[in-house]
């Protein structure tokens, strides 16, 4: 059974409010430049609410999306229709093949690969994704800094959602430095004035990766070349201050 995190309804709505469609961390522009000239099919697993997918579709790229959360997919479908683009979507976990074609690129931005909580499951998902690439295809993924493993839980946060207020409180349950895994207990709440109308509780686990660890794993799994880019700058190498590292694994 997969230990990847799945977003339920309140979590998906908070994600949509916090990271609306088109919001870029530098990744949208970087990936668009990387994919310039790409004319074949592209896949984004863990597509979520479409924050990243929809701008790619608006640029004319042939991107399909999968996600294990029906709530995220419903938001993505709605936002794509509002943006005037057609999104091909399916419910599937990392590595599950929703459509039969091979892809020119598979994209895993924003550290989403870290949602898979164990080494073995991540290795298997990466193996499957590499096998779904056409000759010369690329698997592109982002890794957050390992420093995130030691960061404290953030403060309580809130978002206004029409007449309602959504809140998120997080607490650290476990830091497993040997497994490079952080588990948090998340509490999502929907308030109508002083009245609590809905609550969701979630155990949310991230598995952090070292850059060289991931590069070696991708090569072991059959990638012909793996290039590294720090903080969405082409060919910039990661340093102690790097926040996000992008790895591009190309198959023969």
In CATH, what number is assigned to the domain containing residue 173?
2.20.25
Buried b (16+ CB within 10 A) or exposed e, 143-177: bbbeeebeeeeeeeeeeeeeebebbbebeeeeeee
Domain that holds residue 198: 148-206
What average pLDDT does the segment 10-24 reach? 96
108 and 25 both lie in a single domain: yes
pLDDT of 212 > 70? The answer is yes
164 and 46 both lie in a single domain: no
Structural domain contains residue 42: yes
97 and 217 both lie in a single domain: yes
pLDDT of 86 > 90? The answer is yes
pLDDT-derived band at 34, boundaries 50, 70, 90: very high
30 and 111 both lie in a single domain: yes
Structural domain contains residue 2: no
121 and 195 both lie in a single domain: no
Q: CA–CA separation, 206 vs 173, rounded Å?
A: 12
174 and 111 both lie in a single domain: no
66 and 173 both lie in a single domain: no
pLDDT of residue 4: 62
What average pLDDT does the segment 113-117 reach? 96
pLDDT of 2 > 60? The answer is no
63 and 158 both lie in a single domain: no
pLDDT of 6 > 90? The answer is no
The model carries a pTM of 0.95
The percent of residues in the chain predicted with pLDDT above 70, rounded, is 98
pLDDT of 74 > 90? The answer is yes
Token couple for 55: 């701008």
Structural domain contains residue 167: yes
pLDDT of residue 242: 97
End-to-end CA distance of the chain: 31
pLDDT of residue 1: 36
101 and 48 both lie in a single domain: yes
How many structural domains compose the chain? 2
pLDDT tens digit string along 163-189?
999 999 999 999 999 999 999 999 999
pLDDT of 3 > 80? The answer is no
61 and 37 both lie in a single domain: yes
CATH number at residue 23: 3.40.50.150
Q: Strand, helix or coil at 33? A: helix
- Which long-range contacts link 190-199 to residues 24+ away (Cβ below 8 Å)? 190/10, 190/161, 190/164, 190/165, 190/166, 191/164, 191/165, 191/166, 191/167, 192/163, 192/164, 197/164, 198/10, 199/10
68 and 155 both lie in a single domain: no
Token couple for 245: 């590292």
31 and 141 both lie in a single domain: yes
């Amino acid at each position: 059974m997969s230990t990847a995190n799945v977003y339920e309804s309140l979590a998906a709505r908070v994600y949509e409010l916090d990271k609306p469609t088109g919001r870029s961390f530098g990744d949208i522009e970087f990936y668009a430049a990387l994919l310039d000239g790409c004319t074949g099919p592209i896949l984004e697993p863990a597509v979520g609410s479409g924050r990243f997918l929809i701008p790619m579709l608006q640029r004319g790229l042939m991107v399909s999306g999968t996600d294990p959360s029906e709530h995220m997919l419903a938001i993505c479908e709605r936002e794509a229709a509002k943006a005037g683009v057609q999104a091909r979507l399916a419910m599937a976990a990392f590595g599950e093949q929703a459509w039969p074609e091979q892809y020119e690129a598979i994209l895993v931005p924003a550290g989403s690969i870290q949602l898979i909580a164990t080494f073995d499951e991540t290795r298997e998902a990466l193996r499957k994704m590499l096998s779904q690439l056409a000759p010369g295809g690329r698997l592109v993924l982002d890794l957050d800094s390992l420093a995130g493993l030691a960061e404290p839980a953030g403060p309580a946060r809130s978002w206004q959602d029409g007449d309602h207020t959504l809140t998120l409180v997080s607490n650290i349950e476990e830091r497993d430095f040997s497994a490079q895994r952080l588990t948090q207990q998340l509490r999502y709440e929907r308030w109508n004035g002083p009245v609590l109308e809905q609550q969701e509780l979630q155990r949310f686990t991230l598995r952090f990766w070292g850059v060289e660890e991931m590069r070696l794993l991708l090569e072991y799994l059959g990638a012909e070349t793996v290039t590294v880019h720090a903080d969405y700058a082409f060919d910039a190498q990661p340093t102690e201050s790097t926040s996000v590292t992008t790895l591009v694994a190309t198959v023969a």
